[in-house]
């Protein structure tokens, strides 16, 4: 009865960087909300990723133009645009990774939680469609609809369509629990395949830390890891784990674990922590009513989706921070380092040693995070 036994993928599917696209397995990525501020540059970055074979761009409007534009870029993936609810199923069918940046962004003075009323409904609707069109297939569903969900991979082996869901829509602290509840109701929930995208917090923490600590920041090199092994050649780039959640004080960067080591004072660490927590607000205020972070978020979303694809393709030691179902604290969902593999989450890594300041931050964030999680669960079940 093991689904795993049916999802055998060949050991020849070793991820190879470079342009040998024929050696890379077929992967479909769907972006829901693809015509938006995040969606468009994210779609562009996914089009540049040679691990993607098929790129499905879905929005309630304006996707034909975005898809036509992006489809002219001469990279591996084929691009398809889907517009309006009637086409959502087609956009989702067979997706390996579904990225969700659909929903309204913040305006100055708003918290992420202020977006709840609109975005919770959007996420609920999209997750119901995901459960229907690209679920983690239950055995009953598999037997009933076997033809719909099975495909043959490059080596003629049977694989199942099992999408990894990358939730970007805010408030992530609530939209991820909403998604989990919707999938549970549909009988398709697999905690290993649902991710809140918190990569932008990590990206910000790395940038701010590298700037203040005068250590090298990876920048473009990170981006082009798709194509080359230069990162391993040049050695390690800056790294900062960020744990907790994705809003205000629930964002907890662990600068005590940052590498390479920089000689920063307690006051500097406090200021860096605050700046990382308020990074989104910094952008919202600078954009003065024209939305929130879109370009840096698209980059972060592309980095996380790329990690998911690498994990699916069998690359070893793919670790990113993400807001996932977790037992590392008493909270049911928590962001921490996660090892990604062929089935999504391979391992939720522990917090590691914390400084006293971080321990204090951890205790402070728990009530707020707990209440955002509960709010999401309650919404999904009402």
213 is in an annotated binding site: no
Write the binding mask 265 to 294 for ligand NAI: x where contact by CB under 6 A, - elsewhere. Answer: --------------------------xxxx
Which stretch, 30-38, 89-97, 236-244, 349-357, contacts ligand NAI (CB under 6 A)? 30-38
Angle between helices 279-287 and 199-213 (to 10 degrees): 90
Report if residue 33 touches ligand NAI, rule: CB under 6 A.
Answer: yes
Nearer to ligand NAI, 102 or 373 (CB): 102
80: three-class secondary structure by DSSP: strand
Report if residue 119 touches ligand NAI, rule: CB under 6 A.
Answer: yes
334: three-class secondary structure by DSSP: strand
What part of residues 189-228 is at the interface with ligand NAI (CB under 6 A)?
Answer: 197, 200
Report if residue 120 touches ligand NAI, rule: CB under 6 A.
Answer: no
99: three-class secondary structure by DSSP: strand
Question: With the C-alpha atoms ordered 235, 240, 245, 248, is the resulting torsion angle positive or negative?
Answer: negative
When binding is defined by CB under 6 A, the residue of 64, 89, 125, 260 that contacts ligand NAI is: 125
CB-based contact 15:226 (threshold 8 Å) = no
Report if residue 44 touches ligand NAI, rule: CB under 6 A.
Answer: no
Alpha helices in the chain (DSSP H): 3-6, 39-47, 63-71, 88-92, 116-133, 139-144, 146-149, 172-186, 199-213, 220-223, 230-234, 266-277, 279-287, 295-312, 356-381
10 Å CB burial of residue 332 (0-12, 13-18, 19+) is middle
Distance CA 18, CA 322 (A): 27
314 is in an annotated binding site: no
Nearer to ligand NAI, 293 or 338 (CB): 293
Structure tokens that stand for 304 in this block: 């996380």
When binding is defined by CB under 6 A, the residue of 3, 23, 104, 271 that contacts ligand NAI is: 104
Query: What does DSSP assign to residue 190?
Result: -
Report if residue 307 touches ligand NAI, rule: CB under 6 A.
Answer: no
Report if residue 248 touches ligand NAI, rule: CB under 6 A.
Answer: no
We find the least distance from the C-beta atom of residue 73 to ligand NAI, in angstroms, to be 20
When binding is defined by CB under 6 A, the residue of 56, 102, 194, 240 that contacts ligand NAI is: 102
Report if residue 60 touches ligand NAI, rule: CB under 6 A.
Answer: yes
CB-based contact 101:168 (threshold 8 Å) = yes
Report if residue 321 touches ligand NAI, rule: CB under 6 A.
Answer: no
10 Å CB burial of residue 12 (0-12, 13-18, 19+) is exposed
We find the least distance from the C-beta atom of residue 282 to ligand NAI, in angstroms, to be 12
**Can 246 be counted among the known catalytic residues?**
yes
Binding interface with ligand NAI (CB under 6 A):
32-33, 35-39, 59-61, 101-106, 115, 119, 122, 125-126, 168-170, 172, 197, 200, 246, 291-294, 297
Active-site residues, by number, are 246
Point out the annotated binding site: 33-39, 59, 106, 112, 119, 168-170, 204, 297
């Amino acid at each position: 009865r093991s689904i795993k036994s049916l999802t055998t993928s060949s050991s020849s599917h070793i991820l190879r960087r470079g342009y040998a696209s024929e050696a890379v397995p077929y992967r479909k990525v769907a972006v829901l909300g693809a015509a938006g501020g995040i969606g468009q540059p994210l779609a562009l970055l996914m089009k540049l990723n040679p691990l993607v074979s098929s790129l499905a761009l879905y929005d309630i409007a304006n996707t034909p133009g975005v898809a036509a534009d992006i489809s002219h870029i001469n990279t591996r993936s084929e691009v398809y645009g889907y517009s309006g609810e009637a086409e959502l199923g087609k956009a989702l069918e067979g997706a390996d990774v579904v990225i969700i940046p659909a929903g309204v962004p913040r305006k100055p003075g708003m918290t992420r939680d202020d977006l709840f009323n609109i975005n919770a409904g959007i996420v609920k609707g999209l997750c119901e469609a995901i459960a229907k069109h690209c679920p983690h297939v239950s055995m009953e569903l598999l037997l009933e609809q076997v033809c719909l969900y099975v495909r043959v991979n490059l080596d003629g082996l049977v694989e199942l369509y099992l999408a990894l869901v990358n939730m970007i829509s805010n408030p992530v602290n609530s939209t991820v629990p909403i998604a989990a509840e919707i999938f549970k109701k549909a009988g398709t929930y697999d905690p290993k395949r649902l991710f809140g995208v918190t990569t932008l917090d990590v990206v910000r923490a790395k940038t701010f830390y590298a700037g203040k600590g005068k250590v090298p920041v990876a920048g473009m090199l990170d981006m082009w890891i798709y194509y080359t092994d230069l990162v391993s050649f040049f050695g390690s780039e800056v790294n900062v784990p960020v744990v907790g959640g994705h809003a205000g004080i629930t964002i907890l960067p662990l600068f005590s674990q940052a590498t390479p080591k920089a000689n920063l004072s307690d006051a500097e660490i406090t200021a860096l922590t605050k700046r990382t927590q308020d990074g989104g607000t910094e952008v919202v205020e600078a954009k003065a009513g024209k939305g929130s972070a879109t370009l840096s978020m698209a980059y972060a979303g592309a980095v996380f989706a790329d990690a998911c694809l690498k994990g699916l393709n069998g690359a070893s030691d793919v670790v990113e921070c993400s807001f996932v179902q977790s037992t590392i604290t008493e909270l049911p969902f928590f962001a921490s380092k996660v090892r990604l593999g062929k089935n999504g989450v391979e391992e939720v890594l522990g917090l590691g040693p914390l400084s006293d300041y971080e321990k204090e931050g951890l205790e402070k964030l728990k009530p707020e995070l707990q209440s955002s999680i509960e709010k999401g669960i309650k919404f999904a079940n009402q």
